[in-house]
Amino acid sequence: MRYLDLADALRARIAAGDLGPSRSAGRGALASEGELAREYATSRVTVRRALDVLRNEGLVTSRQGAGWFLAVDPVRQPLGRVTTVEAAVEAAGGRPTRRIVSFGFVPAAQAVADALVVPRGTEVLHVERVNLADDEPFAVVAVWVRSDLGADVSRADIERSPFYDLLPVRGVVLSTVHQTITAEVATPDVAHRLDVTPGDPLLLVRRVTHDADGLPALYSEHRYPASRTAFEIEFALSAPARVSV
């Protein structure tokens, strides 16, 4: 069987809702390459090439060491207002949790110093975490906070709540946010934490949040697998569009 023929067959089964997981696989997981090869009397190479076709079409995804999974609708995040990762997951009907990877004060690297408008090497609070949706990795988030604002924040605090909740109760009024969204590929370390393959596409969100005085309070980097989230914006035209033909 040619891999394109197999891709057609698998695509039809996905559309019909007939390509479910094997008995031993986890939620959303497909039968293994070996099981599919036996079912269709073909080679694992042919199965892998067919699944690659479906992955390029956004129908399936793969996770290093875990196999193939049906793609799910991405979590949609609005660009018109600032929201936390947890709020976005909840709005999509998921159950958000967080896992703290690192916590401590570190010297600010140049990019962080530029974002927070402090001299390079200034001590800042650095937190890295993995956000999960229904117990599956959804985002890797790194946050750097000015030391005067993060001095009394504990690891237990950030295990429970985002900084957008923690800082206001400490008297810090957060005001404006500047956010940029770009793309990059997953490094081996980030791929391991997100349960994706190194080289997979990611959305990288860089965010600088300012206090009421206009000073940068925190800088964060959010990395999402491109298939798991989408950023949307809605706006009105200021005047009726003029169309020329």
**What are the structural domains of the chain?**
3-70 (1.10.10.10), 75-232 (3.40.1410.10)
Task: Identify the residue whose tokens are 């390079």.
Answer: 120
For residue 81, pLDDT over 90 is answered with no
For residue 63, which amino acid is it? Answer: R
* Statement: residue 173 has pLDDT above 50: yes
The encoded tokens of residue 245 equal 């033909």
Least confident of 58-62, 73-77, 138-142, 149-153: 73-77
In sequence order, the 6+-apart residues with CB closer than 8 A to the CB of 146 are 116, 118, 124, 125, 216, 217, 218
Taking residues 213-239, report their average pLDDT. Answer: 85
Q: Write the pLDDT tens digit of every residue in 126-141.
A: 999 999 988 888 899 9
pLDDT at 22: 44
Per-residue pLDDT of 7-24, as tens digits, reads 999 888 877 777 655 434
The pLDDT of residue 218 is: 96
pLDDT at 27: 45
Where does the chain have alpha helices with state H? 3-15, 33-39, 44-56, 85-91, 110-116, 147-150, 155-160, 163-166, 188-194
- Mean pLDDT confidence for 142-162: 94
Share of the chain above pLDDT 90, in %: 52
183-219 pLDDT, tens digit per residue, is 999 999 999 999 888 998 899 999 999 999 999 999 9
More confident residue, 30 or 5: 5
Residue 222 has pLDDT above 90, yes or no: yes
Strands (E), the chain: 60-63, 67-70, 75-78, 96-107, 123-133, 136-146, 174-185, 201-211, 216-225, 229-232
Residue 25's pLDDT is 42
| Residue 26: per-residue pLDDT | 43
Q: Name 192's Cβ contacts closer than 8 Å, sequence gap at least 6.
A: 64
Predicted local distance difference test score (pLDDT) of residue 87: 80
pLDDT in the model for residue 24: 40
Better pLDDT: 75 or 221: 221
Backbone phi and psi for residue 36, each to the nearest 5 degrees, phi listed first: -65, -35
Query: How far is residue 170's CA from residue 167's CA, in Å, rounded to a whole number?
Result: 5
- The Cα 5–Cα 13 span in angstroms is 13
Query: Could you give phi then psi for residue 95, rounded to 5 degrees?
Result: -110, 110
What is the predicted pLDDT for the residue at 176?
92
> What integer is the mean pLDDT of 146-175?
92
